[in-house]
Chain A
Amino acid sequence: MEALALQMQGITKEFPGVKALDNVTFSVRKGEIHALCGENGAGKSTLMKILSGVYPSGSYSGQILINGKEVSFKSIKESQVAGVSIIYQELALVEEMSVAENIFLSHDLMRRKVIDWNKINTEAQKWLHYIGLDIDPEAKVNQLTVGKQQLIEITKALTNNTDILILDEPTAALTESDVEILKGILMDLRSKGVTCIYISHKLGEVMALADSVTILRDGQTIGTYPIEEMNEDKIIAKMVGRELTELFPYEPRKIGETVLEVENYSVYDKKADHMIIKNASFNLKKGEILGFSGLMGAGRTELFISLFGGLEGKKQGRVVIDGIDVHIQKPADAIKAGLAYVSEDRKRYGLILGMDIAKNSTLVALNKIIKLKVIDSHLEMIRAEEITKKMKLKAPNLEAKVGQLSGGNQQKVVLSKWILNNPKILVLDEPTRGIDVGAKYEIYKIINELAEQGVGIVIVSSELPEVLGMSDRVLVMSEGEIMGEFSRAEATQEKIMACATGGKKR
């Protein structure tokens, strides 16, 4: 048996109310590329944060052995000293600094009283050469492509004598040629004896790169397998292999005529050189619940924020609401056209946390409580009371600040705010993220009631059971494109997952 670079045994990590990891076991052999797979929220990132010391020892239970020796990291610094480096999906480079400065930012060379810039630049050159990159060490990082920046991150990690390199979704933002370079580098590192842990949703890459794969599901280890024994379908089956245990109050409804029609809708990023959304076409009917599935970064949120007028950048295509062509430039236009958008990040985009419940809930429909330019405070309280009662909001009183409420109740305030304006189309982006089970169920019931009343509803969700349990129809997005459509009857977790992980368009 080969030596093990890393053993994590019996790892259990709890957050208030949630068991993120439950007795997880994870072993990696020396010098291999080991893929870690699982759905969103399966616990991959939590496990890696434990390994890299982001969650210090003591905040979890279980044992970590590196090269056979037990370790307990109290900080990221300690894990780095032990040779563990992690590269996150979001890059952690200082954009205004040079490549060399970034590579050695946390290195001892920078800690001297007088920094020897010549040495830093020549050292950086050496490392760039070692990894096979032809980049000027004095170039500013923000002049490089995202792919090159990712490679700089890897270089930076290697200068810390890294034995175990963790890559969290490294290819999410890369172009294909950058992915090829990355693959080459990883193969090269393997031959140099560096152990790699590779987290990715792209199963094609996993199959091509990894030597073995460990699969997590709902915070538990499903198993570790040599790559030769696996194929994409097998991995998917093990990732999602779970019954729909949660309860979804689905009832068949009468579905009406089309309320929203989107044709060949494309969105460009701010610089207008890159398409974020490619030729999206779909429709939504009155009283229908339409699920939007896909992996993180598939472009679902961007599609709907853009439709709502909240995204800068060029867009093209046709949007028809109730048979009328609309040209939405800003959220006010969208609201006027009957759209409502409940954001995935309610604290950032949904609520004024320092304002009270009543004022938050009337913010969109303020016109309805204004008489002769003056806000009718009494009417405001009545409307707020009616709508929050309907949402089953639990709060001390309507003058309580929204920031003091629990996640579920905050979400109910956001829903109140939009529903008070009687939208025709309600887009819910991750409507139950970070919400406890009881409140989730109440929110599902509210969604069903609204659909019953004829509101067209879109649920964007990364939780497959939620999409399957709630939707009349499911669309799947991947890399900015709508890749598949499934009726409620045909949709299964396996089909959706296969479609979302870059399967063929169907």
Chain B
Amino acid sequence: MSSEISTSTKLKQQNNAGRFKFDIQSYTLIIALVLIAIIFGSFTNGEFLSSRNLSNLFTQMSVMSVLAVGMTLVIVAGHIDLSVGSIVGLTGGIAAILQVWNGWSTVTVVIAGIIVGAIIGLWQGWWVAYRNVPAFIVTLGGMLIFRGVLIGLSKGQTIAPLSSSFGQIGNSFIPYVVGYILAIAAVVLLFLSKIRSRAKRQSLGLSLSPAAMDYGKISVYSICILFLTYMLNRYLGIPLPMLIVVVLAGFFLFVSLKTSFGRFTYAIGGNVEAAALSGINIKRTVLSVFIIMGALAGVAGVLLTSRLNAATVSAGTSYELDAIAACVIGGTSLMGGKGKIVGAIIGALIMTSIDNGMSMMNIEAFWQYIVKGLILIFAVWMDVANHKK
């Protein structure tokens, strides 16, 4: 009897130790962000953290973030998509052509851009899932094909200008009041869902983490949300692209954690053979992942074209690498099966911050490449070192 008790206390201790270690790991990214904020903030006399620059930063990171959300799913499923840069260029280009040359309305060209992206995803996913061609090859081919199609369709010209309503997608801001309402709604939702979840766990007799810790965390998130809204409202308000990113990331966060599709995606990336023998339809799931990636690349294409108010033949070049880097910095494993959408968003924020901060400090552009490259290697090395322990 006494030995039983001692094992159960031991298990509890291990339990706590496990949780503590886990927390340190997941907060590495936050620590990195804070460090970046402090370093750039002090080198730019606080200009980096000004309302105006924060607004710029969140607008700048929007295209990469949308891509990183889809890329997280692709990489978690154990694949890769090298063609997203070209899809961004092509979908943005098609949207611009339809509007500037054919006079389509903004709503229809946005929908057209996203649908073209989804169809491209269908094409690539079919090759990967149903024809067993490695995703690396399919999307490397796609990278060339879609860039080629873009150059052909646009006849090598820059297509501009777009209508002002199209331009607003990437360049407008949420009115102050609406911004505050959204922020407060988000905070209320956070608290409500936590209360509900705790009540349910209690009624089901599941273990609860201390209330102070749970609500403390939520409070910190809430303060961040409200403070950020305040900072952005001091300038022009929450940028619309940022809101789009938040909505998309939130939706796919939900999909990845709370739907069977999300669960299957992780299972396939974690161990495709075990997943197959568990009755999971591997082909259909992988196909869906690529369709989502394509559609999100379509969204990113529309955003980029809108922000630039023009579609060029080189738009989106090398964006796939930025998106992959954002995922990897955010803790997604290229081996598949492991990765978080929130991590990818923070990864995108880190990458964009480095671009933004270094150019504010008037450091020559070549350094940005070098620093980003080193951070990428460093992030993965940290992950590998953590695994060894």
Contact = CB atoms under 8 A, between A and B. Distances in A.
Interface of A: 308, 310, 330-332, 334-335, 341, 343, 348-355, 359, 363-364, 366-367, 370, 373-375, 377-378, 381-382, 385, 396-397, 400, 417
B190 to A, nearest CB: 16
Contacts of A349: 273-274, 277
Contacts of B388: none
Given A373-B259, A396-B18, A400-B18, A354 B274 contact: no
Interface size class of B (residues with CB under 8 A): 20 to 34
B359 to A, nearest CB: 38
A334 to B, nearest CB: 7
B281 interface: yes
B263 interface: yes
B13 to A, nearest CB: 9
B137 interface: no
Contact of A378 (B200, B271, B279, B337): B200
B263 A359 contact: yes
A364 to B, nearest CB: 5
A300 B271 CA distance: 24
Contacts of A370: 260
A378 B258 CA distance: 11
A397 B279 contact: no
A385 B279 CA distance: 22
B18 A351 contact: no
B279 A374 contact: no
Contact of B278 (A348, A363, A374, A396): A363
A355 B278 CA distance: 14
4 smallest beta-carbon distances between A and B, as pairs: A352-B270, A332-B279, A335-B279, A396-B14
B260 A366 contact: yes
B309 to A, nearest CB: 39
A334 B277 CA distance: 10
Given A308-B277, A396-B14, A378 B204 contact: yes
B15 interface: yes
Interface in B279-312: 279-281
Contacts of B263: 359, 363, 366, 375
Most buried by A among B201, B260, B266: B260
Contacts of B200: 378
B246 to A, nearest CB: 20
Most buried by A among B11, B14, B15, B279: B279
A120 to B, nearest CB: 34
Given A363-B278, A375-B259, A382 B206 contact: yes
Given A335-B279, A370-B260, A375-B258, A351 B274 contact: yes
B276 A331 contact: yes
Contacts of B338: 354
A396 B11 contact: yes
22 contacts: A331-B278, A332-B279, A332-B281, A334-B279, A335-B278, A335-B279, A343-B277, A348-B271, A350-B274, A352-B266, A352-B275, A354-B337, A355-B266, A359-B267, A363-B267, A364-B279, A374-B259, A375-B259, A375-B263, A378-B201, A397-B11, A417-B278
Interface in B202-259: 204, 206-207, 257-259
A343 B274 CA distance: 9
B277 A331 contact: yes
Nearest to A376: B258
Nearest to B281: A332
Contacts of A308: 277
B271 A353 contact: yes
Contacts of B201: 378, 381
A373 B263 CA distance: 12
Nearest to A366: B260
A382 B204 contact: yes
Given A332-B281, A352-B275, A396-B15, 7 more contacts: A330-B279, A355-B337, A374-B258, A375-B258, A377-B258, A381-B201, A381-B206
A303 B11 CA distance: 41
A36 to B, nearest CB: 33
A335 B260 CA distance: 17
Contacts of B267: 352, 355, 359, 363
A397 B11 CA distance: 8
B338 to A, nearest CB: 6
A364 B279 CA distance: 7
A393 to B, nearest CB: 12
A343 B275 CA distance: 12
Nearest to B22: A399
Contacts of B280: 332, 363
Contacts of A363: 263, 267, 275, 278, 280
A354 B270 contact: yes
A431 to B, nearest CB: 15
Contact of B204 (A331, A352, A375, A381): A381
A331 B263 CA distance: 18
A200 B189 CA distance: 68
A373 B277 CA distance: 22
A381 to B, nearest CB: 5
A385 B204 CA distance: 11
Contacts of A367: 260
Most buried by B among A308, A354, A359: A354
B274 A348 contact: yes
A353 B338 CA distance: 11
B281 to A, nearest CB: 7
Nearest to A331: B279
Contacts of B273: 348-349
Contacts of A417: 278
A385 B200 CA distance: 15
Contacts of B266: 352, 355, 359
Interface string B11-37: 100110010000000000000000000
Contacts of B271: 348, 351-353
Given A352-B266, A355-B266, A374-B258, A397 B274 contact: no
Nearest to A345: B273
A392 B377 CA distance: 43
A377 B254 CA distance: 12
A397 B258 contact: no
Contacts of A353: 270-271
Nearest to A382: B204
Contacts of B15: 396-397
Nearest to A359: B263
A381 B203 CA distance: 13
Nearest to A346: B274
Contacts of A331: 276-279
Contacts of A354: 270, 337-338
A429 to B, nearest CB: 11
B260 A375 contact: yes
A159 B281 CA distance: 49
Contacts of B337: 352, 354-355
Contacts of B14: 396
